[in-house]
């Protein structure tokens, strides 16, 4: 009994010690949030954590329980990152916590936290190709970073590196200066510095400065090998291949890309393997090695299809496959072209060229406004200030015009093409020896055009702009011109009777009570048009066609089945 009592007493003492040690450790963690160094330590630790959100909440519980405002900001921002990693796509939970962290940082009026939370959210938008939403936030964060000493920022090297990424995306030359600025605040020989040097090399390559590009790629390669970063080394090999391809040295380019793919497969870097494979396929296609190219593209296509944010790469894969086919397999080519159309429509609303161009214009507009604002503040004379305002108005109007033109050009081109297609087909119809088979083809063509027009009208239905309203009216006019008019019907009826005279006479003899509206449906159905196609041509709903048939059935009674037996023959 005495031994048992001692054990119980020892257990309680041990439990109390563990409780107070944990409590002390928790208090220590919470109190350390006010230190910039410790804040960065917490962020770094969570950036390398696993995707388990339940476990993440447990790890971050000490922040949530803290009364510190900074702890709450960190909790929401890091939880947002956790949900992003878990879902691996744009999701409502991440959005909620990102925006909450930004809001709390602004309430606290802490510049370091405002910049970091906005940057944290921007990385999320950038990674999932939400370029339109990203640009305004980044522009604002850039302006705010100019007012803060970099030494007071949270991860200044990450901040300036990300600005470099953004400017590189829209092909702005300021990217290089941001990258070089980030180098001032990071360890010189590290995977991160190798990555930045590689990015600078890519900027020079884009500007066709191959000498500087290769210089920075070589520097990046030396550091990657020095620190043992095989992943970075693989990416550098692919970038160097681009330089050698540009120089016309295709053999060296192929050699680098094959090494890149080998490293990427070894370390399971699918994204890099995909990029390198597409580059290699493009070069091999120049050398007419189609069999090897097809095998490489199959693997690249598998990776590109696995993530929605790889669709721009999937577009490249399909375009290369079409280049290989070049009319040799029409059915396969048709399938690929349908896929390509779907991807292009998706990219137009996410990370496609149209969005990037629009974002680029937004950046240019913001830069012009910022420049003119600085000049205006420096000017004291009213007349010079007035001239600056005029410049701003001209630039704004010019940019607005370009933006409007780029967004509406595609829609106008489609409308004109539909009009031209209709006129061309009708001209062919007039020139050809007219028979009922020609009309059948003509009606099928009209149905296709009507379907396209209806889709176009549906796409712009939600728009409220004056220009969109005008475009709706024009498209509606084109749609009306495709419907079967009385004149077209009479011409069609004459040709129908010529070819199907016996059928027409049988119908009229046995069913004299049929109206002209009934005859339209009967004749079109005789040509194997379904309810939807008939309704499209006549400009009515499918339900209206069904109801018309129901009324006819009621009117004819038992003779209704006889009518459709005659039609089917």
The 10s digit of each residue's pLDDT in 181-195 is 999 998 888 999 999
The answer to whether 442 and 429 have CB atoms below 8 angstroms apart is yes
Residue 135 burial (10 A CB sphere; 0-12, 13-18, 19+): buried
The vertex-280 CA angle with 276 and 286, nearest 5°, equals 155
The answer to whether 106 and 146 have CB atoms below 8 angstroms apart is no
Predicted confidence at residue 494, as pLDDT, reads: 83
In the three-class reduction of DSSP (H, G, I as helix; E, B as strand; rest coil), residue 268 is classed as coil
pLDDT in tens, 101-125: 999 999 999 999 999 999 999 999 9
The vertex-191 CA angle with 185 and 193, nearest 5°, equals 35
In the chain, the domains with their CATH numbers are 26-185 (1.25.40.10), 379-482 (no CATH), 486-568 (1.10.10)
Neighbours of 140 (CB within 10 A): 15
Mean pLDDT of 10-18: 51
For 147, which DSSP code? Answer: T
Q: Which of 357 and 545 is assigned the larger pLDDT? A: 545
Strand ranges for 461-548 from DSSP E = none
The answer to whether 392 and 365 have CB atoms below 8 angstroms apart is no
Mean pLDDT of 397-411: 70
Does the structure show a pLDDT above 90 at 159?
A: yes
Predicted confidence at residue 349, as pLDDT, reads: 64
Contacts of 490 (CB under 8 A, 6+ apart): none
For 34, which DSSP code? Answer: G
- Residue from 38, 95, 78, 132 nearest 360 by CA: 132
In the three-class reduction of DSSP (H, G, I as helix; E, B as strand; rest coil), residue 483 is classed as coil
Number of H helices, E strands in the chain: 28, 0
Predicted confidence at residue 179, as pLDDT, reads: 94
Q: Which of 84-88, 327-331, 462-466, 558-562 has the lowest mean pLDDT?
A: 462-466
Q: Which of 167 and 386 is assigned the larger pLDDT? A: 167
Tell me the percentage of the chain whose pLDDT exceeds 70.
73
Does the structure show a pLDDT above 90 at 100?
A: yes
Predicted confidence at residue 480, as pLDDT, reads: 53
- Residue from 544, 495, 550 nearest 523 by CA: 495
Give the pLDDT band (50/70/90) at residue 534. confident
Tell me the percentage of the chain whose pLDDT exceeds 90.
23
d(CA 455, CA 451): 6
For the whole model, what pTM was predicted?
0.52
Mean pLDDT of 434-457: 62
Mean pLDDT of 304-328: 87
The answer to whether 276 and 257 have CB atoms below 8 angstroms apart is yes
Q: Which of 418 and 196 is assigned the larger pLDDT? A: 196
**What is the rounded average pLDDT for all residues in the chain?**
79
């Amino acid at each position: 009994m005495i031994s048992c009592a001692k054990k119980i007493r020892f257990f309680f003492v041990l439990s109390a010690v563990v409780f107070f040690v944990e409590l002390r450790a928790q208090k220590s963690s919470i109190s350390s949030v006010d230190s910039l160094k410790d804040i960065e330590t917490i962020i770094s630790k969570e950036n390398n954590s696993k995707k388990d959100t339940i476990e993440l909440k447990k790890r971050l519980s000490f922040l949530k329980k803290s009364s510190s405002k900074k702890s709450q900001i960190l909790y929401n921002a890091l939880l947002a990152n956790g949900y992003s990693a878990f879902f691996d796509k744009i999701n409502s939970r991440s959005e909620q916590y990102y925006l909450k962290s930004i809001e709390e940082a602004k309430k606290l009026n802490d510049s370091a936290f405002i910049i970091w939370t906005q940057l944290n959210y921007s990385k999320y938008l950038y990674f999932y190709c939400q370029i339109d939403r990203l640009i305004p936030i980044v522009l604002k964060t850039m302006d705010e970073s100019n007012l803060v000493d970099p030494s007071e920022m949270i991860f200044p090297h990450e901040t300036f590196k990300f600005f470099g990424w953004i400017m590189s995306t829209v092909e702005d030359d300021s990217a290089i200066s941001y990258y070089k600025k980030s180098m001032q605040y990071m360890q010189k020989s590290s995977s991160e510095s190798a990555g930045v040097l590689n990015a600078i090399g890519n900027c020079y390559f884009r500007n066709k400065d191959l000498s500087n590009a290769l210089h920075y790629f070589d520097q990046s390669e030396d550091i990657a090998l020095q620190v043992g970063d095989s992943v970075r080394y693989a990416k550098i090999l692919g970038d160097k291949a681009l330089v050698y391809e540009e120089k016309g040295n295709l053999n060296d380019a192929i050699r680098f890309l094959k090494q890149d793919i080998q490293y990427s497969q070894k370390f399971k870097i699918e994204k890099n393997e995909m990029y390198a494979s597409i580059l290699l396929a493009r070069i091999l296609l120049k050398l007419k090695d189609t069999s090897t190219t097809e095998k490489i593209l199959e693997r690249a296509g598998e990776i590109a299809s696995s993530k929605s944010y790889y669709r721009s790469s999937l577009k490249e894969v399909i375009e290369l496959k079409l280049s290989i086919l070049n009319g040799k397999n029409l059915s396969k080519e048709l399938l690929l072209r349908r896929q390509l159309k779907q991807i292009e429509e998706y990219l137009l609303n996410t990370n496609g060229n149209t969005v990037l161009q629009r974002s680029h214009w937004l950046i240019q507009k913001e830069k012009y406004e910022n420049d003119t604002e600085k000049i205006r503040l420096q000017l004291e004379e009213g007349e010079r200030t007035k001239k600056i305002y005029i410049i701003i108005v001209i630039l704004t109007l010019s940019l607005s015009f370009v933006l409007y033109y780029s967004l509406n050009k595609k829609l106008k081109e489609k409308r004109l093409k539909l009009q031209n297609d209709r006129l061309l087909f009708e001209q062919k119809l007039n020139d050809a020896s007219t028979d009922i088979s020609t009309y059948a083809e003509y009606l099928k063509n009209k149905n296709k055009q009507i379907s396209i027009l209806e889709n176009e009208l549906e796409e712009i239905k939600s728009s409220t702009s004056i220009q969109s309203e005008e475009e709706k009216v024009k498209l509606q006019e084109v749609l009306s011109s495709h419907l079967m008019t009385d004149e077209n019907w009479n011409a069609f009826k004459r040709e129908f009777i010529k070819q199907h005279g016996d059928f027409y006479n049988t119908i009229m003899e046995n069913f004299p009570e049929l109206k002209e509206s009934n005859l339209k449906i009967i004749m079109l159905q005789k040509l194997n048009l379904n309810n939807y196609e008939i309704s499209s041509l006549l400009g009515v709903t499918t339900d209206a066609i069904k109801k018309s048939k129901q009324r006819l059935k009621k009117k004819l009674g038992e003779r209704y089945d006889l009518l459709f037996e005659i039609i089917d023959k």
